[in-house]
Amino acid sequence: MERKKLLVVVDMQNDFIDGALGTPEAAAVLGKVRARIERARREGETVVFTRDTHTANYLKTNEGKRLPVPHCIEGSFGHALADGLAEEGERIFDKPTFASLALGDFAAAENFASIELIGVCTDICVLSNALLLKALCPEADVIVRADCCAGVTPERHETALDSMRACQIDIL
């Protein structure tokens, strides 16, 4: 029996690459992210995306009060995934917070043997989604590909990778 594989591309949106919350590290991994997505498609893996999604009242939300930088406002250029990442028919999970419950439900229902995460930010949304998927899919191999991720800072990226290792998430 073939092992079903899922590639989750976390928040590779314009605002996190070169927009409101962009970092040089996020811009630097974009090419590797594109290459990993293309390989996944060639190898028959399911590819899905998450998209941080906020509304115009973001600054009045709990998150907005703690991070007062409007970003990923639905319908804006910053909300969009980087050009050329998603193909027609691939699922995009919009999420108002760090982790996507809908993604977790999807992964659990589909019974993937392997779930790999790439994207940004390692220390916030990649970490949150990896832990959620580990909890909802305890028998799946949950993997984070470090060279296709970027954190808010390089130090926070490394700290997040260490935290995920401690929770039995494989780091490549």
**What pLDDT is recorded for position 2?**
64
**Residue 134 and residue 92: Cα distance in Å, rounded?**
20
32, 147 in Cβ contact below 8 A?
Answer: yes
29, 66 in Cβ contact below 8 A?
Answer: no
pLDDT category at 1 given cuts 50, 70, 90 is: low
Please give the DSSP secondary-structure letter assigned to residue 125.
I
Task: Order the strands of the 46-52 sheet from edge to edge.
Answer: 91-95, 46-52, 5-10, 114-120, 141-150, 170-171
Higher pLDDT, 57 or 1: 57
**What pLDDT is recorded for position 75?**
95
Q: Where are the beta strands (DSSP E) in 11-165?
A: 46-52, 91-95, 114-120, 141-150
**Residue 101 and residue 72: Cα distance in Å, rounded?**
19
pLDDT category at 147 given cuts 50, 70, 90 is: very high
Average confidence score pLDDT of the chain? 96
Percent of the chain with pLDDT over 90: 98
**What pLDDT is recorded for position 3?**
81
Mean pLDDT of 19-37: 97
Mean pLDDT of 96-117: 96
Residue 86 scores a pLDDT above 90: yes
Query: 143 Cβ partners below 8 Å, 6+ apart?
Result: 114, 115, 116, 117, 169, 170, 171, 172
Site of tokens 């790439």: 118
Mean pLDDT of 64-93: 95
**Residue 155 CA to chain centroid, in angstroms?**
19
**What pLDDT is recorded for position 33?**
98
- Note the pLDDT tens digit of each residue in 7-17: 999 999 999 99
